[in-house]
Amino acid sequence: AAGVIQSPRHLIKEKRETATLKCYPIPRHDTVYWYQQGPGQDPQFLISFYEKMQSDKGSIPDRFSAQQFSDYHSELNMSSLELGDSALYFCASSLRFGTYGYTFGSGTRLTVV
Amino acid sequence: SQQGEEDPQALSIQEGENATMNCSYKTSINNLQWYRQNSGRGLVHLILIRSNEREKHSGRLRVTLDTSKKSSSLLITASRAADTASYFCAPTQGGSEKLVFGKGMKLTVNP
């Protein structure tokens, strides 16, 4: 079965650079969520989209932005990267009125040097 | 959204033993979900139990829900070394509500 696809799997950037993370949800899933998990930390919610509109916002820095496109894939854009942005970034998708839980991707490991 | 609180925060058992972890939450829910995360990997959905259900099984997993006590438990029977992971509960109202994760419970199954 198709899963949530995230790319790239690993990314190394220098401070002050920009990074773009991509997420391809499960087909027909209408909601996408982004999470950040620092080393030894719990996953922290960043932002979500339902039917291409932002549906909720968490502790996402102003330097970050995200959007969901017409094909439902989503991109997380991160600018002016800081060392503290080094983390695992997960994307999850779900069906708004589904009852099968949320499916997470394998994550993108971002390292800022 | 609300966060579930897992208890205990860590558990170490021998292979073949059963592992039980508990989750408490504060306000009424539509469903409660359990997830597993292996170190450095993505979260894997294990099971979802609706508020009108009291017990649910999936393979070696058994989940109970007591809405009067606002608590849930996850039982893993005949544990294996591969069950070593962090386990998170996520109570939700349903819809497109975001999941809020607590510290999770770190399970270690020793071979």
Question: By CA distance, what is A53's nearest residue in B?
Answer: B96
Q: How many interchain CB pairs under 8 A, A with B?
A: 60
A94 touches chain B (CB under 8 A): yes
B43 touches chain A (CB under 8 A): yes
- Reported as a single tens digit per residue, the pLDDT across A46-93 is 999 999 999 999 989 999 999 999 999 999 999 999 999 999 999 999
- Reported as a single tens digit per residue, the pLDDT across B50-99 is 999 999 999 999 999 999 999 999 999 999 999 999 999 999 887 768 88
A61 touches chain B (CB under 8 A): no
B95: left (phi over 0), alpha (psi -120 to 50) or beta: left
- What does each C-alpha distance from B69 to A6, B43, B65, B101, B103 come to in angstroms? 38, 27, 9, 20, 21
**Res. A8: pLDDT tops 80:** yes
pLDDT band at B110 (very low <50, low <70, confident <90, very high): very high
**Res. A5: pLDDT tops 90:** yes
- Pairing mode, strands B55-58 and A74-78: unpaired
Residue A1 pLDDT: 62
If contacts are CB pairs under 8 Å, which of residues 80-109 in chain B contact chain A?
88, 94-104
- Pairing mode, strands A10-13 and A108-112: parallel
- Is residue A58 within 8 Å of residue A47, measured between CB atoms? yes
**Res. B13: pLDDT tops 70:** yes
Residue B39 pLDDT: 87
Give the sign of the dihedral formed by CA A24, CA A29, CA A34, CA A37: negative
Please state, in angstroms and rounded to a whole number, the distance separating the CA atoms of residues A35 and A96: 18
Residue A98 pLDDT: 65
